[in-house]
Amino acid sequence: MPPGDKYELVLHEAEHGAFGERVILALSTAFWDAFLKGDAEAKTWLNGEGARSVLEKDDRWQRK
């Protein structure tokens, strides 16, 4: 794989309609802010407890 930050989100028992929900909006906005705008605060949020705070109990969020 090419170098760089990689993220994976697994939504437990999610259906297609889940892609308009808060977790997707929050994570994708922070991702684009971090990597397109160079926003260090958004990247810190992605890599810390901020991202995990929007997940449901059985969802998974990881960075590789």
**45-56 pLDDT, tens per residue?**
999 999 999 999
Residue 31 belongs to domain spanning: 20-59
Q: What is the pLDDT of residue 13?
A: 87
Q: What is the pLDDT of residue 32?
A: 97
Return the closest-CA partner of residue 11 out of 29, 26, 1.
26
Alpha helices by DSSP H, listed for the chain, are 22-36, 40-47, 49-52
Q: Which two tokens stand for residue 18?
A: 């889940």
Query: Could you tell me the CA-to-CA distances from 40 to 25, 31, 54, 61, 62 in Å, in that order?
Result: 18, 11, 19, 19, 18
Q: Is residue 39 part of a domain?
A: yes
Give the pLDDT confidence of 13-39 residue by residue, as tens digits.
Answer: 888 776 668 899 999 999 999 999 999
Residue with tokens 């697994």: 10
More confident residue, 60 or 3: 60
Q: What is the pLDDT of residue 19?
A: 66
Domain count, the chain: 1
pTM of structure: 0.82
Q: Is residue 8 part of a domain?
A: no
